[in-house]
């Protein structure tokens, strides 16, 4: 488990801001990592930020963490964990339930909280 200080020191708030921008720009996919019209899932967007090179066959954490380049994995894991601690449930289920606007707002709020801690 990470503290706010750990997350601030590793500048997770910057990654979270990029994540919010990416989802806000593309929209949030509710069923697949990327739809035909360009919407993306929260886990897929997180993977893209951390160097995911190939289209994932799954939004599963363990699949994605193996597909992320090794030098970006610690940061990917910190972001994923910070988000799950914030929403207190599975990222995929939560983001599909609340939609694009709420997802983006919550990510930006978390980024700001970490930055100002």
pLDDT given for residue 78 in this prediction: 96
Per-residue model confidence as pLDDT tens for the chain (117 residues): 788 899 999 999 999 999 999 999 999 998 889 999 999 999 999 999 999 988 888 888 999 999 999 999 999 999 999 999 999 999 989 999 999 999 999 999 999 999 998
Are 100 and 28 in contact, with CB atoms under 8 Å apart?
yes
Q: What is the pTM of this model?
A: 0.93
pLDDT of amino acid 87: 95
Cα Rg of the chain (Å, integer): 13
**Which pLDDT score, from 0 to 100, does residue 56 have?**
85
Domain ranges for the chain: 4-115
pLDDT computed for residue 1 by the predictor: 73
Residue 90 DSSP label = -
| Per-residue tokens: 55 | 């289209």
- Nearest to 69, CA basis, from 51, 43, 56: 51
3-state SS, residue 40: strand
**Sequence-distant (≥ 6) Cβ neighbours of residue 13 within 8 angstroms:** 7, 110, 111, 112, 114, 115
């Amino acid at each position: 488990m990470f503290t706010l200080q750990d997350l601030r020191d590793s500048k997770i708030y910057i990654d979270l801001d990029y994540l919010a921008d990416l989802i806000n720009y593309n929209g949030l996919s509710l069923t697949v990592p990327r739809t035909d019209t360009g919407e993306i899932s929260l886990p897929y967007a997180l993977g893209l930020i951390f160097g995911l090179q190939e289209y994932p066959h799954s939004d599963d954490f363990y699949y994605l963490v193996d597909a992320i380049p090794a030098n970006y994995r610690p940061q990917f894991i910190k972001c994923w964990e910070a988000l799950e601690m914030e929403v207190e449930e599975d990222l995929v289920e939560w983001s599909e339930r609340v939609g694009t606007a709420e997802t983006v707002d919550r990510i930006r709020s978390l980024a700001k909280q970490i930055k100002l801690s």
